[in-house]
Structure 1
Amino acid sequence: MLEAMPGKHRVYLVPGFFGFINLGELIYFGHALDYLKDELARRQVEAEVIIVLSHPTASIRTRTADLLKAVQETASGDDGPIHLIGHSTGGLDSRLFVSPGAQVAEGVDLEPFARRVRTVTSVSTPHAGTPLATFFMGLFGQRILKLLSLFTVYVLRFGRLPLRVVFRFGHLLARADDQLGWKPTLLDQLYDQLLGDFSSERRDAVSKFLSDVGNDTSLIPQLTPEGIDLFNASTLDRPGVRYGSVVTQARPPSLRTRMAAGLDPYAQLTHTIYALMYGQTQRMPLTALPLHTPAQTAALVQAYGAMPGPTACDGIVPTRSQVYGRVLAAVRADHLDAIGHFDQPAHQPPHVDWLISGSGFRRPQFESTWKSIVDFMLEDERPGITGS
Structure 2
Amino acid sequence: MANRHRVYLVPGFFGFTQMGDKETERIAYFQNVPRLLEQRFHERGIDARVHAIASAPTAGLEARARDVFREMARTANEDDAQLHLVGHSTGGLDARSVVSPRMAREAPDFVKRVRSVVTIATPHHGTPLASYFDQGGVGKTLLRYLWLFTFLTLHRKAMPLRTAALQACYWLVLRSEEAKLPPNLFNQVVRLTADLSEAEREDLIRFFGQVGENQALIQDLMPVRMRGFNADTADREDVRYGCVVTGAPPPRLSLHLLLTPDALLNGLFAFLYAKSAPLSRELQIPERTPAQTQALQDVLGRRFESKSDGIVPSRAQVWGEVLHVAKGDHMDVMGHFDQPPEYISWLKSGSHFQEPQFRAMWDRVIDFTVGGAATVHPGNEEAQRMSIDG
Same fold (TM over 0.5): yes
CA distance in 2, matches of 1:90, 1:171: 29
CA distance in 2, matches of 1:150, 1:169: 8
CA distance in 1, matches of 2:187, 2:70: 38
**Counterpart amino acid of residue 153 in structure 1:** F
**Counterpart amino acid of residue 67 in structure 1:** V
Alignment of 1:289 with 2:279, yes or no, is no
Deviation at 1:62, TM superposition (A): 1.2
Deviation at 1:6, TM superposition (A): 1.3
For 1:9, what is the secondary structure of its paired residue? strand
Alignment of 1:249 with 2:244, yes or no, is no
For 1:29, the equivalent position in structure 2 comes to 30
For 1:341, the equivalent position in structure 2 comes to 336
Shift in CA distance, 185/84, structure 1 to aligned 2, threshold 3 Å: closer
Deviation at 1:243, TM superposition (A): 0.5
**Counterpart amino acid of residue 146 in structure 2:** L
For 2:116, what is the secondary structure of its paired residue? strand
Alignment of 1:62 with 2:44, yes or no, is no
**Counterpart amino acid of residue 356 in structure 2:** P
Deviation at 1:174, TM superposition (A): 5.7
Deviation at 1:167, TM superposition (A): 4.1
For 1:8, the equivalent position in structure 2 comes to 4
For 2:164, the equivalent position in structure 1 comes to 164
Task: Report if aligned partners of 1:7, 1:79 keep a CA contact under 8 Å in 2.
Answer: no
Alignment of 1:303 with 2:299, yes or no, is yes
Shift in CA distance, 72/188, structure 1 to aligned 2, threshold 3 Å: closer
For 2:130, the equivalent position in structure 1 comes to 133
CA distance in 2, matches of 1:167, 1:153: 13
**Counterpart amino acid of residue 149 in structure 1:** W
Which of 336, 344, 348 matches 1:352? 344
Deviation at 1:226, TM superposition (A): 0.7
Shift in CA distance, 211/246, structure 1 to aligned 2, threshold 3 Å: same
CA distance in 1, matches of 2:217, 2:170: 28
Cα deviation 1:341-381 (Å, max 9, x = unaligned)? 011004xxx100012111111111000000000011134x6
Alignment of 1:326 with 2:318, yes or no, is no
Shift in CA distance, 287/340, structure 1 to aligned 2, threshold 3 Å: closer
For 1:149, the equivalent position in structure 2 comes to 147
Task: Report if aligned partners of 1:300, 1:307 keep a CA contact under 8 Å in 2.
Answer: no
For 1:248, what is the secondary structure of its paired residue? strand
1:68-217 equivalences in 2 (<5 Å): 68-102=69-103, 108-110=106-108, 112-137=109-134, 138-158=136-156, 162-171=162-171, 175=175, 179-184=177-182, 187-188=185-186, 191-217=189-215
Shift in CA distance, 52/287, structure 1 to aligned 2, threshold 3 Å: closer
Paired residues, number: 364
CA distance in 2, matches of 1:330, 1:45: 25
Shift in CA distance, 61/175, structure 1 to aligned 2, threshold 3 Å: closer
CA distance in 2, matches of 1:98, 1:142: 30
For 2:101, what is the secondary structure of its paired residue? coil
**Counterpart amino acid of residue 178 in structure 2:** L
For 1:385, the equivalent position in structure 2 comes to none
Q: Taking structure 1 as the reference length, what is the TM-score of the superposition?
A: 0.87
Q: CA RMSD in A?
A: 2.2
Task: Report if aligned partners of 2:146, 2:169 keep a CA contact under 8 Å in 1.
Answer: no
Shift in CA distance, 287/207, structure 1 to aligned 2, threshold 3 Å: closer
Shift in CA distance, 58/194, structure 1 to aligned 2, threshold 3 Å: farther
Q: Taking every aligned residue pair, what percent have the same amino acid on both sides?
A: 40
Task: Report if aligned partners of 1:297, 1:307 keep a CA contact under 8 Å in 2.
Answer: no
For 1:264, what is the secondary structure of its paired residue? coil
CA distance in 2, matches of 1:207, 1:325: 39
For 1:228, what is the secondary structure of its paired residue? helix
Stretch deviating more after TM superposition (292-301 or 182-191): 182-191
**Moved runs in structure 1, 4+ residues, more than 6 A?**
none
For 1:85, what is the secondary structure of its paired residue? strand
Deviation at 1:77, TM superposition (A): 2.7
For 1:227, the equivalent position in structure 2 comes to 225
Task: Report if aligned partners of 1:59, 1:218 keep a CA contact under 8 Å in 2.
Answer: yes
Shift in CA distance, 32/276, structure 1 to aligned 2, threshold 3 Å: same
Deviation at 1:320, TM superposition (A): 0.4
Deviation at 1:323, TM superposition (A): 0.7
For 2:78, what is the secondary structure of its paired residue? coil
Runs of 5+ consecutive residues of structure 1 not aligned to the other structure: 383-388
CA distance in 2, matches of 1:171, 1:97: 39
For 2:103, what is the secondary structure of its paired residue? coil
**Counterpart amino acid of residue 225 in structure 1:** P
**Counterpart amino acid of residue 59 in structure 1:** G
CA distance in 2, matches of 1:171, 1:71: 39
Q: Taking structure 2 as the reference length, what is the TM-score of the superposition?
A: 0.87
Cα deviation 1:170-192 (Å, max 9, x = unaligned)? 5555645xx22445379536533
